[in-house]
Amino acid sequence: MRMPGDVALHYLDEGDPKGAPVVFLHAMGTDLHLWDRVLPLLPAGLRLIRVDLRGHGQSPCPEGDYFMGDLVADVAAVLDRLKLRDAVVVGMSMGGMIAQGLAAERLDQVRALVLCNTAVKIGTPQAWRERMEQVREGGVAILAEPTLAAWFPQRFHDDPAFDAAREWLLSTPLAGILGCGAAIAETDLYESTARLRLPTLAIAGSEDGLTPPDMVRETADLVPGSRFHLIRGAGHLPCVDKPQEFATALTTFLKETGHV
């Protein structure tokens, strides 16, 4: 489905329409199919909403720099159109940053957070500017090998899902990578995340080359009462390389928060 407006995000609304809502926000360089391996492993009766973020998948891809506020507002508009309140929001990497921002801005929409392989700040502005300049000159393909090496441990490179992840990355529009890279570069959510008071689960992969477990744990520690779960052997996208363990951790959290 598509939404009216300047940035009409594409989304899928599946599962039980009367069920408790769970919203999934993907990582940069992927799309809503990032969650394909996990959703069939979740309990029946949930309402499952997956979104293609700005510049990704079937959503519009404006030219120019994006801001984290843009990405947060895009998702809030989807939930407003669906009249969703009190959702559990599951965000991976960049999606986890958006989830933190959404909880800070629209607590009416967010009942609980699952922050996966993410942090309040990822990298430095200078490092992101240099990386985006390389992409501007060489195209998205220049990111493929280093990004995939950081996303997945070597043992996973023969899995068919590894090839699917490569296709996600290579099919992401150049403007989407550049725009989201600009948004991440300028984002530091420390103050707003430290003010959050809601059930929070943080998930990390022991082999994550982009947001190491200590970084994820430090983010979780900002929210009083949060839980931290380490998936051993997983990389930056544990919903892909360790879907059963990811689904088990998420299901346990949904049960603890009364969502199922």
> What CATH number corresponds to the domain at position 247?
3.40.50.1820
| Chain-centroid distance, C-alpha 34 | 9
* pLDDT for the residue numbered 6: 64
Dump pLDDT digits (tens) for 169-206. 999 999 999 999 999 999 999 999 999 999 999 999 99
Q: Work out the number of other CB atoms within 10 angstroms of the CB of residue 121.
A: 17
Residues of the chain with pLDDT under 50: 1-5
Q: Say which amino acid occupies 8.
A: A
Cα separation, 126 vs 123, whole angstroms: 8
Helices (H), the chain: 68-81, 94-105, 125-138, 144-151, 160-171, 174-185, 190-194, 213-221, 238-241, 243-256
| Overall domain count for the chain | 1
Provide the residue range defining the domain that includes 164: 11-256
What pLDDT, in 10s, does the model give residues 97-116?
Answer: 999 999 999 999 999 999 99
With respect to residue 86, please indicate whether it lies within any of the assigned structural domains: yes
Confirm whether 1 is domain-assigned: no
- Please give the span between the terminal C-alpha atoms of the chain, in angstroms, as a whole number: 26
Q: How far is Cα 204 from Cα 210, in angstroms, rounded to an integer?
A: 11
How high does pLDDT run on average in the chain?
95
Angle at 145 between CA 141 and CA 146, to 5 degrees: 110
Query: Is 5 a member of any domain?
Result: no
Residue 148 lies in a domain: yes
pLDDT the model gives residue 57: 97
